[in-house]
């Protein structure tokens, strides 16, 4: 190793696991470690995480990844120059400023316990569900952090008391990690970045500040909120007690925004990340584009305090890989998640079976929290292989619904649809059948890069840009991005595609108004 070798670390804190990946100056991974953590389901539709377990998982990942890279001959102790951070968005927690202890488990982004809060606000506020869209780009929904914060404020005595005593701090997972990484009760920094803040419903999309009228309407005290910063700047140094003490934290983005950066998405370019959910973002440039087709207006990224803000249209699919996990853990049809591809390939089609994974409702473009999962078209001919294939197809159908809405909102020329390329990433993209099905249903090419972990890569890029390791020309070099990429081109004939899409639409409509309101 030469003296000029430098490394950038990336914390990738996801919905089901935490990871730490170390990259060299060429943005190639040289060491990583991943740890899964517990998912808590206290009631139907409720999903929680233990913030302390998340914190410990991150510490273990950093320690193990550094050990692995060192064992491979890389002098990480001397060469590590900065750390970037990316996280599951919208997941919400409140903790004590004086003790550092969480006042309740974190409410996970897919948790729907706030349905009653949402319905109440829709009735009380002018404009109903769209009351805050003008300022934050988001509808009133169980998805977003503000609703979860309101539930905690109204239902958890420890949170009420801490706010009254001015001892409460609110944050999403990025805020919780940075506060602890930079000292916790001993001077920890209470910050969030613009991309995570844009998912709370509380930030004004144009000013990138907390919106005073929104805080007033929701009666949320401004003093519990973190400071909003850009995605690429030196935030602070890691404190003692961590295996990378003294290293600057220099980048922070919500996971989907990090994936956009990792996929080098400039204006007019889109990516879809396939994980627990699926998240599709289209970079719309330096202007906020309002959606008339069920999408969200949000931040893409802001690469420095004085850098221009890039915005995006987003469609979020709540259940993607989670449906495969359900086949494994709930029904026992497969032993491991990767087994689904072989099982689905045992049949040539879905056999007329359509599966809508509306376990906790449907997000974009439907926004139906009263929807619940359905599986229709079942006959005596139906086998578990048909079910498996229908589950995979459900992921692709949901992504197609979002992409179609993006084309409408962005004013894309439909005659040039074949020129549109969808960049994909995330763990589920190793499934070739899933990717081919996606290309077939979209009738457009799907590009899978050689490194599918673009979320962590985007966080590394943000940190590397802040400390001068990389320039934007390097990050946005599309030739390098597409090197060794796999390209899936559509093979399905239009007549079959249209029939399948029509059947999917009928299946989705049958999932509506099925929520058991007694739960």
Percent of the chain having pLDDT more than 90? Answer: 76
pLDDT of residue 417 exceeding 70: no
Q: What is the mean pLDDT of residues 286-295?
A: 87
Residue 61's pLDDT band (cuts 50, 70, 90): very high
- pLDDT for position 364: 84
pLDDT of residue 341 exceeding 90: yes
Distance (Å, rounded) from C-alpha 153 to C-alpha 188? 23
Residue 135's pLDDT band (cuts 50, 70, 90): very high
pLDDT in tens, 29-50: 999 999 999 999 999 889 999 9
**Tokens standing for residue 443:** 């009738």
Residue 1's pLDDT band (cuts 50, 70, 90): very low
- pLDDT for position 482: 67
pLDDT in tens, 447-477: 998 888 889 999 999 999 999 999 998 888 7
pLDDT of residue 109 exceeding 60: yes
* Residue-range domains of the chain with CATH: 7-255 (3.30.420.40)
- pLDDT for position 414: 47
CB-count exposure of residue 383 (10 Å: 0-12, 13-18, 19+): middle
Distance (Å, rounded) from C-alpha 130 to C-alpha 510? 25
Residue 320's pLDDT band (cuts 50, 70, 90): very high
Q: What is the mean pLDDT of residues 394-419?
A: 78
Residue 519's pLDDT band (cuts 50, 70, 90): very low
pLDDT of residue 238 exceeding 80: yes
Closest C-alpha among 467, 465, 459 to residue 177: 459
Residue holding tokens 């190639």? 28
pLDDT of residue 259 exceeding 80: yes
* Residue of higher predicted confidence among 492 and 479: 492
Q: At what angle do helices 494-509 and 432-442 cross, to 10 degrees?
A: 100
pLDDT in tens, 63-91: 999 999 999 889 898 999 999 999 999 99
- pLDDT for position 518: 43
- pLDDT for position 478: 58
pLDDT of residue 412 exceeding 90: no
pLDDT of residue 2 exceeding 90: no
Report the largest interatomic distance among the alpha carbons of the chain, rounded to a whole angstrom.
67
- Return all residues near 146 (Cβ < 8 A) that are at least 6 apart: 200, 201, 202, 214, 218, 220
- pLDDT for position 349: 93
pLDDT of residue 6 exceeding 90: yes
Task: Give the global pTM.
Answer: 0.86
Mean pLDDT value across the chain: 92
Using the CB atoms, write b or e for 170-209: b if 16+ within 10 Å: bbbbbbbbbbbbbbbeeebbbbbbbbbbbbbbbbbbeebe
Sign of the Cα pseudo-torsion (244, 250, 253, 255, in order):
negative
- pLDDT for position 479: 58
- pLDDT for position 481: 62
SS3 category, 21: strand
- pLDDT for position 293: 86
Tell me if the bond preceding 90 is cis, omega within 30° of 0: no
SS3 category, 121: helix
Residue 480's pLDDT band (cuts 50, 70, 90): low
CB-count exposure of residue 436 (10 Å: 0-12, 13-18, 19+): middle
Sign of the Cα pseudo-torsion (283, 287, 291, 292, in order):
negative
């Amino acid at each position: 190793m030469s003296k000029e070798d430098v490394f950038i670390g990336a914390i990738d804190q996801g919905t089901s696991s935490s990871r730490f990946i170390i990259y060299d100056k060429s943005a190639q991974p040289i060491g990583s470690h991943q740890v899964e953590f517990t998912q808590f389901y206290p009631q139907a539709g409720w999903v929680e995480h233990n913030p302390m377990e998340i914190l410990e998982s991150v510490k273990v990942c950093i320690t193990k990844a550094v050990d692995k890279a060192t064992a491979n001959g890389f002098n990480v102790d001397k060469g590590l120059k900065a750390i970037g951070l990316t996280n599951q968005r919208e997941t919400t927690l409140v903790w004590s400023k004086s003790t550092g202890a969480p006042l309740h488990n974190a409410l996970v982004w897919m948790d729907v316990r706030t349905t009653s809060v949402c319905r109440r606000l829709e009735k009380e506020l002018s404009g109903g569900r769209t009351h805050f869209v003008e300022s934050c780009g988001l509808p009133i929904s169980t998805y977003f952090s503000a609703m979860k914060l309101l539930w905690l404020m109204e239902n958890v005595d420890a949170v009420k008391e801490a706010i009254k005593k001015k001892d409460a701090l609110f944050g999403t997972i990025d805020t919780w990690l940075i506060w602890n990484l930079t000292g916790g009760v001993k001077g920890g920094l209470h910050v969030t970045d613009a991309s995570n803040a844009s998912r709370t419903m509380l930030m004004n999309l144009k000013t990138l500040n907390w919106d005073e009228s929104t805080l007033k309407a929701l009666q949320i005290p401004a003093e519990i909120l973190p400071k909003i910063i850009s995605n690429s700047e030196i935030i602070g140094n890691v404190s003692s007690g961590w295996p990378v003490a003294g290293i600057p934290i220099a980048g922070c983005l919500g996971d989907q925004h990090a994936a956009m950066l990792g996929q080098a998405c400039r204006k007019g370019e889109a990516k879809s990340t396939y994980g627990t959910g699926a998240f599709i973002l289209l970079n719309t440039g330096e202007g906020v584009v309002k959606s008339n087709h069920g999408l969200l207006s949000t931040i893409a990224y802001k690469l420095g305090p004085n850098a221009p803000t890039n915005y995006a249209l987003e469609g979020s699919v709540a259940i993607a890989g989670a449906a495969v996990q359900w086949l494994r853990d709930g029904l026992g049809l497969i032993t491991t998640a990767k087994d689904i591809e072989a099982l689905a390939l045992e049949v040539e089609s879905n056999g007329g079976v359509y599966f809508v994974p509306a376990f906790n409702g449907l997000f974009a473009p439907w926004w139906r929290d009263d929807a619940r999962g359905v599986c229709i078209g079942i006959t005596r001919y139906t086998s578990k292989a048909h079910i498996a294939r229908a589950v995979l197809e459900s992921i692709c159908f949901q992504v197609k619904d979002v992409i179609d809405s993006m084309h409408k909102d962005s004013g894309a020329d439909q005659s040039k649809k074949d020129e549109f390329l969808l960049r994909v990433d995330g763990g589920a993209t190793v499934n070739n059948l899933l990717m081919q099905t996606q290309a077939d249903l979209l009738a457009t090419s799907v590009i899978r890069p050689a490194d599918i972990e673009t979320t962590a890569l985007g966080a590394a890029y943000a940190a590397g840009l802040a400390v001068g390791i990389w320039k934007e020309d390097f990050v946005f070099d599309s030739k390098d991005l597409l090197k060794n990429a796999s390209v899936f081109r559509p093979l399905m004939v239009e007549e079959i595609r249209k029939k399948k899409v029509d059947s999917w639409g009928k299946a989705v409509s049958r999932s509506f108004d099925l929520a058991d309101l007694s739960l």
